[in-house]
């Protein structure tokens, strides 16, 4: 029987939404129980870490991991969405390289960042993006973020030696919006900027190179981002026209490329290891025998003799990842503030 509980590293192509991109995983594993650990905008590409089956319970932990991106900014304009699908709301002179370097340095380290209004953040029970599209104003409080690293990889200049585009590698903490970095860096160098290309390359210790579909992704450059932006604008326009026409639904028939991708997903689905458990902030404990494994899987009373650590030594208010003696992930237990140990969940295939 195929294992449907695990972690899928998936290379999202630009164009589809993160939700639509889950279709290939659902079909490959024959399950509807999937949960991504942080979306990418439809125009963006790169790594989606997707939890499936019983491991969807871990999605909330993995979403907290640090991330790495490559981003292309275009200078001289700012849009309401802070990326190219939005409406231009500001124009400004192009910056020189020295000003850009100073601005990037300013936004490296710890600082308070104001998220984009066009985002999934909720304000008084409503998505900020829905409020923005209705034409109403809303205020999203700034929040603490950290840019661990910001490295210029490629520059594009005009005849006056002013910067028109830049490609930057970012390593950032959870909750950091690259679109907001485009806005803030643009303003800090005396110009305006918005995002025209985004490529997520790492989530925690998960890397894009290990993702199913990685070989479908093109080399990420300024030239590619400019070309892709124009192509996506045409596709968005056509999609809007088709909605108006209300074309008749056609039966979905996967082509060979999609079937190959689904097979790659089945081959590459992975399990929680101790590195992942540690990044999630869990304590780690091992069952010492197959008898203990059976007892754990069947929900029998949790006793220290089943494990390689005394349960009394686990901190109160903690979550512990349980592994078998062969280091296979078995599930989670928690210890409450009164020192009582409970099952949190047992992994099911």
Beta carbons within 10 angstroms of residue 72's beta carbon? 27
Beta carbons within 10 angstroms of residue 14's beta carbon? 23
Cα–Cα distance, 56 to 6 (Å, whole number): 8
User: Whose CA is closest to 346, among 337, 328, 41, 38?
Assistant: 328
Q: Which two tokens stand for residue 86?
A: 């939005």
Residue 1 is classified by DSSP as -
Residue 17 is classified by DSSP as -
User: Whose CA is closest to 75, among 159, 161, 171, 195?
Assistant: 195
Positive/negative CA dihedral, 325, 328, 333, 335: positive
Residue 213 is classified by DSSP as T
First to last CA, the chain: 9
206: part of which helix (H) or strand (E)?
Answer: strand 206-207
User: Whose CA is closest to 103, among 142, 75, 65, 131?
Assistant: 75
- Judge whether 184 counts as a catalytic residue: no
Place of tokens 């520059």: 155
Per DSSP, the three-state class of 215 is helix
From 41, 66, 273, 326, active-site residue: 41
Alpha-carbon torsion angle 210, 212, 214, 217, nearest 10: -160
Q: Which two tokens stand for residue 224?
A: 């590619």
Catalytic residue numbers? 41
């Amino acid at each position: 029987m195929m294992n449907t509980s695990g972690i899928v590293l998936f290379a999202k192509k630009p164009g589809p939404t993160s939700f639509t991109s889950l279709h290939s995983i659902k079909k490959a594993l024959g399950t509807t129980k999937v949960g991504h650990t942080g979306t990418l905008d439809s125009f963006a590409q790169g790594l989606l870490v997707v939890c499936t089956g019983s491991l969807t319970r871990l999605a909330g932990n993995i979403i907290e991991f640090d991330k790495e991106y490559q981003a292309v900014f275009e200078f001289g304009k700012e849009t309401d969405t802070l990326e190219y699908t939005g409406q231009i709301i500001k124009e400004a002179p192009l910056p020189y390289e020295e000003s850009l370097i100073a601005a990037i340095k300013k936004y490296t380290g710890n600082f308070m960042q104001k998220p984009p209004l066009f985002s999934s953040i909720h304000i008084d029970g409503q998505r900020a993006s829905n409020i923005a599209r209705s034409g109403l104003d809303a205020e999203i409080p700034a929040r603490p973020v950290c840019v661990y690293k910001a490295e210029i990889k490629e520059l594009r200049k005009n005849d006056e030696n002013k910067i028109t585009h830049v490609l930057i590698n970012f390593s950032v903490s959870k909750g950091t919006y690259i679109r907001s970095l485009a806005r803030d860096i643009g303003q800090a160098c005396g110009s305006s900027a918005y995002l025209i290309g985004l490529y997520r390359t790492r989530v925690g210790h998960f890397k894009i190179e290990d993702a199913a579909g990685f070989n479908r992704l093109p080399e990420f450059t300024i030239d590619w981002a400019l070309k892709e932006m124009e192509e996506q604008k045409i596709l968005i326009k056509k999609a809007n026209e088709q909605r108006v026409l209300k074309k008749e639904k056609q039966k979905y028939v996967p082509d060979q490329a999609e079937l190959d991708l689904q097979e790659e997903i089945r081959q590459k689905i992975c399990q929680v290891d101790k590195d992942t458990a540690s990044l999630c902030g869990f304590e780690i404990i091992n069952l010492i025998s197959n008898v203990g494994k059976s007892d754990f899987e069947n929900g029998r009373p949790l006793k220290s003799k089943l494990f390689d650590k005394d349960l009394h030594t686990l901190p109160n208010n903690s979550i512990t990842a349980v592994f078998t003696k062969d280091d296979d992930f078995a599930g989670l237990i928690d210890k409450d503030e009164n020192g009582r140990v409970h099952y949190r969940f047992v992994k099911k295939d």
